[in-house]
Structure 1
Amino acid sequence: MTEAGLLRAPVYKGLRDDLAPEDIPITKPRRRTRTPAVPQENILQLLPDADPPTQEQLANYWTRVNARALAHLANRPLKLVRHVRGTTFYHKGALPPVPDSVHKLKVAKRSGGEGTRLWVEDLDGLLGLTEIGVVELHPWNCTVEDIEIADTMVIDLDPGPGIAWAFVVDAALTLRELLHQHGYESWPKLTGGKGIHVMIPLEEKLSHDESHRCSRRIAAQLANIDPERFTISASLASRRERLFIDYLRNGRGTTAIGTFSPRARPGHPIAAPATWDQIVSGISADHFTLEEIPPMQTRRAKRRASK
């Protein structure tokens, strides 16, 4: 039993009828005093089950894919997942000293005051992020040149318990057609987790609030096709045996995992760009990894994949 009172890796052996529950002694481990590895004020969200790559693995990976990755990650404010002295967490607040290759952007917070976001423009910047323990990159849907205008919308198809992958694939294809009816082209991204991000480049200028409203409207249309299987509610209770159509990735300062970003997960998957043909074939959300990166697409393949 852990310090939190949970069973660690329990195995069901059977039921005993010779003991009453109140007669069974339960021994909890003595709580140990620990020195926090990371100040609590720097932890937006702790990721206790993370399995991050090493800095060497990250450096080798970024060196291999930087030209393709920077097309999606460069010049964008970043939300960061860091791994510092055995602790993996979404970072907030004060930053450690950063290399000169990593740039800082001062942003006004909606809640008041001013914050700092990091951004990069080249391989040196990506390698500089690894030096301060950055594992995952979650970019804003805008560039540092104009942080108030969204140039991308993201709709995350996030399957709850009981939802088969084939249903996620069908939903992505239906969403693609729905977006096309609204005049938007889209492309799919494998999240490296359990879902698909449908990425929508914006040719027209939209504020983050406008992008949020637009994505919600389209998500609601998709949900109305089959309310028993779809939901746009973030409530965990409503997501069981439903596919969560997450439009909440759109808004000022909200983010989704960046294209080509590694994930701090077992097997070290990456959030990888895919083609619609690959989606139809049933490729899994965590198919590509630090070691197995997506193949380069020819121009003809890119044109076919966008149709």
Structure 2
Amino acid sequence: MPSASTPAVELEVRGRTVRVSNPDRVYFAERGLTKLDVVEYFVAVGDGILGALLDRPTTLERWPRGWFADAKRATRADSSGDAFYQKRVPQGAPDYVETSRIGFPSGRTADEVAPTELAVVAWAANLGTLTFHPWPVVRDDVDRPDQLRIDLDPQPGTDFSDAARVAPHVRELLTEHGLTGFPKTSGGRGIHVFVPIEPRWTFTEARRATIAFGRELTRRLPEQVTVKWWKEERGSKIFVDYNQMARDRTIASAYSVRANARATVSAPLRWDEIGDVAPDDFDVTTMPARFAEVGDLFAPLVAHREPRYSIESLLELADRQERDEGEGDLPYPPEYPKMPGEPKRVQPSKDADRPR
């Protein structure tokens, strides 16, 4: 006979009572971590996770049964996964869960969770949310990003150490353009660099600035970096995923838990420590102590904080690249409608018009 479920527990989270059902449910078997452990982790890094999500429309990556070997996420083509992305606010949400209406490239809209207090994070964690995917906008202006996000994505044959070797060049290039970036581990093999920017530009302009940045980084490090969209063209390099700045594309927040055996987390870093750390250094069990020691290294990125930086210099770089080298737009993700100025969206090996 199935065993009885463990009675729910109630946590006091900054003045709110959050109910945690099935607190002993195993979420990460290899680490012996339960649902309650995950909820308590988020509370322990509360100022950090709330700062990363505050007032931002946020997609919830939910793993109701926890992570386990062979688990898979649901996709557009197959909805029968063990985990899923929830863009619309779940039914039955408490009245303190606020939302933000956002629009997708398809023209459809959704009311997404937009956290305003830590209890919302704990409530979402009780639903099985491990990873939070906030938009780079705030809910009172969902069309103009206030963050530029640079995703250093290791391709097959490369790993975190390769991304770490590129990171100082990212910092140098940002500085040349009057920008200050804040790095973090992805929680996997990659590195993310977030830049607080003035919310004056559209997603299209922010994406164009990111493409220009990636192209210049590629020019300086041609053997290490690529902006090629098609995987067959990337080689063993670090891919600057410029489409992470396209509308409705999101990156795991700082302090999010990643769905892997070790329960790693996306950890903010100091620039000078990137070469000395590894993604496995930061997990649900170790991050609270680090947070207590170093504080929130991503605090400058919290919504509405100053300073915010201009991307005009990167847009001018994009203009020069187009004028002097003929480098225009790059392909959008496959689910996007055809965008103005976008080149042919055909995999090179399948392009009948491509010179052989």
TM class, shorter-length: 0.7 to 0.9
Deviations 1:281-303 (A, max 9, x none): x2113321111013433799x99
Partner of 1:285: 279
Question: How big is the shift at 1:134?
Answer: 1.5
The amino acid that maps onto 2:294 is Q
The 8 Å contact of residues 48 and 296 in structure 2, kept in 1 or not, is answered as: no
The 8 Å contact of residues 142 and 152 in structure 1, kept in 2 or not, is answered as: yes
Partner of 2:52: 72
In structure 2, distance between residues paired with 1:54 and 1:213: 42
Q: Secondary structure at the match of 2:146?
A: strand
Match of 1:81 among 54, 61, 71: 61
Higher Cα radius of gyration: 1
Q: Secondary structure at the match of 1:111?
A: coil
The 8 Å contact of residues 62 and 83 in structure 2, kept in 1 or not, is answered as: yes
Question: How big is the shift at 1:91?
Answer: 2.9
Residues 133 and 204 of structure 1: CA distance in aligned 2, closer, same or farther (over 3 Å)? closer
Question: How big is the shift at 1:96?
Answer: 3.5
In structure 2, distance between residues paired with 1:240 and 1:51: 33
Residues 290 and 245 of structure 1: CA distance in aligned 2, closer, same or farther (over 3 Å)? same
Partner of 1:265: 260
Question: How big is the shift at 1:139?
Answer: 0.6
Question: How big is the shift at 1:233?
Answer: 2.0
Deviations 1:264-291 (A, max 9, x none): 11111110111011113x2113321111
Residues 254 and 299 of structure 1: CA distance in aligned 2, closer, same or farther (over 3 Å)? closer
How many corresponding residue pairs? 252
Residues 54 and 298 of structure 1: CA distance in aligned 2, closer, same or farther (over 3 Å)? closer
Question: Which runs of no fewer than 5 residues in structure 1 stay unpaired?
Answer: 1-49
Residues 176 and 100 of structure 1: CA distance in aligned 2, closer, same or farther (over 3 Å)? same
Partner of 1:155: 150
Percent identity, aligned pairs only? 29
Deviations 1:112-167 (A, max 9, x none): 23212112111211111123221110110011121111111111111112225443
Question: How big is the shift at 1:110?
Answer: 2.9
1:128-167 aligned within 5 A: 128-167=123-162
Q: Secondary structure at the match of 2:83?
A: strand
Q: Which moved more, 1:245-254 or 1:170-179?
A: 245-254
The amino acid that maps onto 2:46 is N
The 8 Å contact of residues 256 and 266 in structure 2, kept in 1 or not, is answered as: yes
**TM superposition score normalised by structure 1:** 0.75
1:27-176 aligned within 5 A: 54-85=34-65, 87-92=82-87, 95-176=90-171
Q: Secondary structure at the match of 2:116?
A: coil
The 8 Å contact of residues 157 and 195 in structure 1, kept in 2 or not, is answered as: yes
The 8 Å contact of residues 194 and 286 in structure 1, kept in 2 or not, is answered as: no
From the two aligned structures, give the one with the greater strand fraction: 1
Moved over 4 A (4+): 50-53
In structure 2, distance between residues paired with 1:166 and 1:59: 31
Q: Secondary structure at the match of 1:154?
A: strand
User: What value does the CA root-mean-square deviation take over the aligned residues?
Assistant: 2.5
Question: How big is the shift at 1:103?
Answer: 1.8
The amino acid that maps onto 1:202 is I
In structure 2, distance between residues paired with 1:51 and 1:157: 27
Question: How big is the shift at 1:227?
Answer: 2.8
Deviations 1:200-256 (A, max 9, x none): 111462222111111110011111223333211232223341111112111322210
Q: Which moved more, 1:152-161 or 1:290-299?
A: 290-299
Q: Secondary structure at the match of 1:124?
A: helix
Deviations 1:57-96 (A, max 9, x none): 2211111111122122111011221113571222356834
